Structure 1
């Protein structure tokens, strides 16, 4: 069906952290490479290792963010996301057919297994340059909180 984005099943090969784009951009400036990242409207989708979504509530508690409302959603097993339509480039504003569509800000590396480049909780499971999941969640939580505070002004 034309205009209907392809849906990707989450939880088998990767999970997703869904945050406000403003918070996500600020976090990326501080963290550097994180693995694949997509943007959909005012939201940023950061791919993390499968099983990471299950760890996020416990990490937020451990990092002492658990009692604060954060606009940080972890999507894991059984979840679906729209597949990014435009690799590595932001569509021009108002371009027909792309309004609200997800696009790659940092696409998966060509020819690379996506699972090996994603942030993971275990130091033993992590490879490459992606930060560990705890560091990623801490940075995203901080930036989500800052965005919320600034919006309340």
Structure 2
């Protein structure tokens, strides 16, 4: 009597297998694969032009991903976004940190994805230590790595967070979450004003009044705390 062998399971997509097996990050969806936020990490989301300035300040900050707004590589009028990975729970702290830094709702471009959220899984880096330059991934991917995580490394232990043991970012190291949010809010505000001055502001989000510039706020005695961090 012929022996019936069990049918092999369908192999996971390479991108999903890398994230789950190598990094231990939960994913969802066969195509496209997405990373679940709020479990191992949260992410700060900001326009890429503002994010680039943040990365220049902290060269060892990571992981960082670049998110396209359309899978075909066309931005459809929107700007690409930079996603900076932070410790899980940081997304819930963002509104309070912005309020304490006296930014309030002045930085609508700075948001976060946390518990219950998800993000497109960036295309696999060419190697575990590879660093892809901004905008340097294929046009069909929805997201790509700017500073990828390393396999076999507990990346969550070095993500920006608050509380005891949080870094301060001196010497280009990893900053604590408050310093990171302060810098990101400043750069988002500065980039928004620059786009408005150059006639490139996103009308769908509304223009931020120039009266809220840092110079005018300092002259009015409402200098943001973030500028003193």
| Fold match by TM threshold 0.5 | yes
TM range (shorter): 0.7 to 0.9
> Where does structure 1 lack aligned partners over 5 or more consecutive residues?
none
1:111 and 2:152 correspond? yes
1:130 and 2:171 correspond? no
Count of residues paired in the alignment:
150
Once the two structures are TM-superposed, the CA of residue 68 in structure 1 deviates from its matched residue by 1.1
Q: Cα deviation per residue 1:46-105 (whole Å; 9 max; x = unaligned)?
A: 000000001110000011101414301111100000010142325657x5533xx21111
Give the TM-score of the pair, scaled to structure 1: 0.87
Identify the range of structure 1 (108-117 vs 20-29) with the bigger mean alpha-carbon deviation: 108-117
List 4+ stretches of structure 1 deviating above 3 A.
Answer: 90-93, 125-129
Larger Rg: 2
Alignment of 1:46-61 (within 5 A): 46-61=84-99
Alignment of 1:2-151 (within 5 A): 4-41=31-68, 42-87=80-125, 88-90=131-133, 95=138, 97-98=140-141, 101-124=142-165, 129-151=173-195
Distance 1:142-1:12 versus aligned 2 partners, 3 A rule = same
Relative contact order higher in (CA < 8 Å, ≥ 6 apart)? 1
State the Cα RMSD in Å.
2.4
Distance 1:50-1:96 versus aligned 2 partners, 3 A rule = closer
Distance 1:150-1:50 versus aligned 2 partners, 3 A rule = same
> Where does structure 2 lack aligned partners over 5 or more consecutive residues?
1-12, 14-29, 69-79, 126-130, 198-229
Give the TM-score of the pair, scaled to structure 2: 0.60
The CA distance in 1 between the partners of 2:191 and 2:41, in whole Å, is: 26
